Each structure stands twice: as structure tokens, then as C-alpha cells.
Amino acid sequence: MAVDIFIAVGGFLIQCGLALLGLKLTHWKHKFLFSVLVIFGAALMAIAVKRSLDSQKRIETLLGAIGSRGFMEFNMPPKLLPGFSTIATDRVIAMELGHTNRGNADVRSAFSFSGLMVSEGIYSAGTDRFMRFKFGEEMALRANKTVRGQYGPGRGVVGTRYIPPLTSKQVDAILNGDIRIFAFGWTTWVEATGEQVIETCLWLQRPQSAQLITERMRWNRCAE
């Protein structure tokens, strides 16, 4: 930076010096005034060069942040746990839910929540919003028990989430498509461009059979 400023100012002074030679026969007051203008112009030139270099540095920093960043992403698809994948009376459904840093840089001050629920009543246009609200209530209860952390690329938070033992009424309704299984995720983290938040809400399409298989489950995004 100092070299660039020196070159710019030096070039300016040389030009002014050549112009000053043309004033050598003029009155000394004119020479003094011209000298003041030369110094003032050199100072302005130095300030302009420094601002230009600082701006370039900020742009390079921003481009570096864009090219190298971390971001948390909900793990897809949710994975069933062996022995907890049958839709039947008094059986528990369990899945691994969580978030992973899919970027190429660390994320800081990150934490995430996930949940697994069964909707209540016949599915309607307002069910997605209601289930989001229920997940928000559960998340609020667990928020003070969660510790923020730092996760490198490929690292994250994964946990097992359960649906309590199903009733016979729930089993029939799920298999008939009247009620749905929901999976939720919510994560926040800090990266070079600031704090980020991602919310995930999914519902499981009507199962093909009572025996769930991870690869055959069809998940859909909840309505906004």
C-alpha cells in the first residue's frame, strides 16, 4: 500500500515540479501559493489512493467469504432406526434427525433442534401451520438446554427422535392417509456474512405399507 501511495504522490509532484519551472520568473508570492496547492493536491491524492486500496481489500475479503463458507443443512432423508419402523398399535416409530455443515468452512455458535410428530385429526389446509406451532412450543422448552458449538465441514448435530406408542386409531388413520407423520428441523449459526437461520418442515406421504423403509419414504415440504 505504501509503495502505491509513494508512486502516485511522486508522479503528482513531478508533474507539479515541471509546472513550477514555468513560474520561476514570476513573483515569489505566486510561487508560495503554488507550493501550497501542490502539497494540498498531494495529500488529496494520497487519501484517494488509500481509500481505493482499502475498498479493494474489502472486496477481496467479501469474495473470499463467499467462496469459502459453512452452512448447516437438514439431513435428508430422515433415517429409520432398526426395530422402530413398523406402524402398529403400541409400537414406537424412531428416526435420526439432525443438521450437518455442508460447506467448506467452519460454522460458529451453531445449534439446532429437530422433532418428530403425528398430526391430530383429519388433515386439512391449516394442519401444516398448526404442527409448526406445536414444534415451536416444544423447541422453546428445550432451548435453554442446548449449547452452541462450532462445526467443521461434514460435522453437525444428530439425534434420535421418537413418536410415542401409536394407538389403533392412529395406525388406521396413518395408513389411510387421514393423518400424517411430520419431521421438523430448526438451526441457526454464525458465518462470515452474519447469523443465519433455516427452518425445515416435512410431512410423510401416505405409507405404502405398515413396514416403513427409509429409501421408500416420500417426504414433502409443508405449506407456508
Domain ranges of the chain: 2-67, 72-221
- pLDDT tens, position by position, 130-140: 999 999 888 87
Q: Percentage of the chain with pLDDT > 90?
A: 46
The pLDDT value given to residue 168: 96
pLDDT tier for residue 9 given thresholds of 50, 70 and 90 = low
What is the predicted pLDDT for the residue at 78?
Answer: 95
Strand segments (E) across the chain = 72-74, 79-80, 93-101, 107-118, 149-151, 156-163, 181-191, 194-204, 219-221
Q: pLDDT class for 149, splitting at 50, 70, 90?
A: confident
> Do the beta carbons of residue 170 and residue 123 sit within 8 Å?
no
pLDDT digits (tens, 9 = 90+) for 46-98: 665 566 666 666 655 554 555 567 889 999 999 999 999 999 999 999 999 99
Residues 80, 85, 86: CA angle, nearest 5 degrees? 165
Quote the cell numbers at residue 218.
Answer: 416420500
Residue 45 CA to residue 40 CA, distance in Å, equals 9
pLDDT digits (tens, 9 = 90+) for 17-34: 645 555 555 555 555 655
pLDDT range class, residue 224, cuts 50, 70, 90: confident
Mean pLDDT computed over every residue of the chain: 80
- Would you tell me how many other CB atoms lie within 10 Å of the CB of residue 98? 20
Residues for the chain: how many in total?
224
Instruction: Give whole-number Cα distances, 119 to 79, 166, 180, 199, 223, in Å.
Output: 20, 12, 6, 18, 14
What is the model's pLDDT at position 63?
44
The pLDDT value recorded for residue 217 is 95
**When comparing pLDDT for 67 and 104, which is higher?**
104
